[in-house]
Amino acid sequence: MSNDPVFILTRPQMGENIGAAARAMLNFGLTGLRLVAPRDGWPNPAAVATASGAAGRVLDPARVYPDLAAAVGDCAMTFATTARPRELTKPVYTPEAAVAEARAQIAAGNKVGFIFGPERAGLENSDIAQASAIVSVPVNPEFASLNLGQAVLLIAYEWGRQTAGAAPMRLEGAVTELATGIEVEKLADHYEERLEEAGYFFPPTKAPVMRQTLRSFWARMPLTRADVQTLHGALRQLMRKR
């Protein structure tokens, strides 16, 4: 369904794993698959073979994007799946809490994405910096071995479990219209450009980390459309009157 969450596979390597992810999703009725720069190109015969009955429903309509930013452009909230929360300062959700939050956001009209990393290395910090939050399965700290297909399965299962739940969804307060990924990205660009001109990213050796810190900050904030407009306006005014 168009208002279900989308699952974004970032730089997936093996076609078999893309197919397995498609099968896992369709078990719980999910069909919104996006691919970021799949290693072996697209379409991928191995993915189709593994997906089997899920090929037509999930793989065929899947969209391919050159980078993660493009893939999450229309998402107001994104969850980056990681094996273990790392250094970045983002809220960390269990699958249960993430799906509950996703359902609330979707009920408020916002698009939600779950981002999965490549098989071996998982998401890079620069990927996670673009997400609103982190979702991590609480596994045995002495033995964590979930693969890509299993991570997709568990999130899809949680979606199915909570969606099937007879309990009516509880909505609190007024519906807030969150900004989309593209809107937040443009805002981040605007601030980064002005800070660049002001010599903020100094010394050059620290500049990449400083940029990533700021990107991560913007992605993490629950910005509404109105907030984004206010922040554009404030920056323009700061730069104008001197």
Site for its own copies in 82-111 (CB under 8 A): 85, 87-97, 100
CA distance 94 to 155: 10
Residue 8 or 159 having the CB closest to its own copies: 159
Tell me if 13 contacts its own copies by CB under 8 A.
no
Residues 40-69, interacting with its own copies (CB under 8 A): 52-54, 57
Tell me if 23 contacts its own copies by CB under 8 A.
yes
- Piece of 6-14, 34-42, 115-123, 193-201 that binds its own copies (CB under 8 A): 193-201
Closest CA to 21 of 65, 54, 43: 54
Is the Cβ–Cβ distance between 188 and 73 less than 8 Å?
no
Residue 13 or 150 having the CB closest to its own copies: 150
Tell me if 26 contacts its own copies by CB under 8 A.
yes
Residue 112's SS3 state is strand
Site string for its own copies, 110-139 (x = CB under 8 A): ------------------------x-xxxx
Tokens for 169?
């969804």
At closest approach, how far in Å is the CB of 71 from its own copies? 24
Residue 193's SS3 state is helix
- HEC letters along 21-37: HHHHHHHCCCCCEEEEC
Residue 8 or 51 having the CB closest to its own copies: 51
Residue 11 or 23 having the CB closest to its own copies: 23
CA distance 208 to 167: 46
Look-up: residue for tokens 């408020």?
108
Residues constituting the chain: 242
At closest approach, how far in Å is the CB of 98 from its own copies? 9
Closest CA to 181 of 113, 236, 229, 232: 113
Binding residue for its own copies (CB under 8 A) from 3, 45, 126, 171?
Answer: 171
Tell me if 207 contacts its own copies by CB under 8 A.
no
